[in-house]
Structure 1
Amino acid sequence: MKIIISFSLFFLSLTLVQSENDDEAAVQKVVETFFDGFHKQDSIIMKGVVGDNVLLQTTGRNKEGKTMFRTEKIEKLYSSIVGIPDSIQFQEKLTSWSIQVDRTMANAWVGYEFWLNGEFSHCGINSFQMVNFDGDWKIIYLIDTRGKAGCLED
């Protein structure tokens, strides 16, 4: 009887670990899809992984070293990305991942470097908060940091 219980618990724990891994992979896929749309300048792709009433914020230091913090409407991000001329090349390279999931909520802490016309511009962290709406992970909150300090270090 103890063997049956032990095997049952073992297989249950494997199922839970697999479920967590599946959720983490799904969360990462949402972020990758968001940036696929970003790089293709396709707001429809981006909107496909963003929930209603998403909150978009950024923080960093200005030239005087003071903390700046601002909130923007997601529509402004969409229109600015779509409006970038073909003569400008940009890439947000995702450099690190930390994903946490609990039931219907997830956080993806994603390091990045931003490159403009082949030149390094800045780096930081994107923090995505997501909710699983009946099987679909959607971004409901995005905040990022921006700066040059500590970037491109080996």
Structure 2
Amino acid sequence: MKKFMPFLLFLMFLNITAQENQETKVRQTIETFFKGFHTKDTLLIKETVSEEIIVQSIGADKDGKATLRKEDFSRFLNSIASIPDSVDFREKIQSYNIQTDGTMANAWTPYEFWYNGTFSHCGVNSFQLFKNGSDWQIIYLIDTRRREDCYD
């Protein structure tokens, strides 16, 4: 049994290292998405997503009632591309909680959104990703948006 213990430890180490490597690749995909977002580079954004991506937002209407809105991805891209250069916007990711299982990953990313240097809103992004060959692609993105209780 003593002879097998180093081998078992080695296998456990390999599994942990592979998991960390996949989490790093998932994070890189999301960071590339936001690089495209902040530079209004819609081609870069498109490199990170599946052709069938689903985008939704959870917010509140004027009466404070929760709403779920599906967004057309091509319309999202057009709105990003049409932002004037004079507008400074930044989505600041506060942390990453990434989980993977084979070719599927989830990333939970609390954020703050700043518009022309002024706090606009906060929330959480939930990314679902699919590993297509060696690349991770975002297949589903849903976020929450609120102006209060940002630091729970």
TM-score normalised to structure 2 length: 0.97
Residue in 2 aligned with 1:143?
142
Deviations for 1:107-128, whole angstroms, at most 9, x for unmatched residues? 0000110000111000000000
Amino acid at match of 2:18: S
Unaligned runs of 5+ in 2: none
Taking only aligned residues, the RMSD between alpha carbons, in angstroms, comes to: 1.1
Kindly, what percent of the aligned residue pairs are identical? 45
Is residue 97 of structure 1 aligned with residue 58 of structure 2? no
Q: Provide the rounded CA distance (Å) in 2 between the counterparts of 1:79 and 1:61.
A: 24
Amino acid at match of 2:100: V
Q: Provide the rounded CA distance (Å) in 2 between the counterparts of 1:86 and 1:7.
A: 58
Amino acid at match of 2:57: T
Residue in 1 aligned with 2:46?
47
Instruction: Give the Å deviation of 1:60.
Output: 1.3
Instruction: Provide the secondary structure at the position in 2 that maps to 1:137.
Output: strand
Amino acid at match of 1:126: N
Residue in 2 aligned with 1:110?
109
Instruction: Provide the secondary structure at the position in 2 that maps to 1:125.
Output: strand
Deviations for 1:19-76, whole angstroms, at most 9, x for unmatched residues? 0000000001111000000000000110111012100000011221101111111111
TM-score normalised to structure 1 length: 0.96
Q: How many residues align?
A: 152
Q: Provide the rounded CA distance (Å) in 2 between the counterparts of 1:85 and 1:66.
A: 32
Amino acid at match of 1:35: F
Q: Provide the rounded CA distance (Å) in 2 between the counterparts of 1:16 and 1:132.
A: 17
Q: Provide the rounded CA distance (Å) in 1 between the counterparts of 2:11 and 2:72.
A: 43
Deviations for 1:85-122, whole angstroms, at most 9, x for unmatched residues? 01111000011211000010000000110000111000
Residue in 2 aligned with 1:56?
55
Instruction: Give the Å deviation of 1:83.
Output: 0.5
Q: Provide the rounded CA distance (Å) in 1 between the counterparts of 2:116 and 2:125.
A: 21
Is residue 11 of structure 1 aligned with residue 14 of structure 2? no
Instruction: Provide the secondary structure at the position in 1 that maps to 2:84.
Output: coil
Instruction: Provide the secondary structure at the position in 1 that maps to 2:112.
Output: strand
Unaligned runs of 5+ in 1: none
Instruction: Give the Å deviation of 1:4.
Output: 2.4
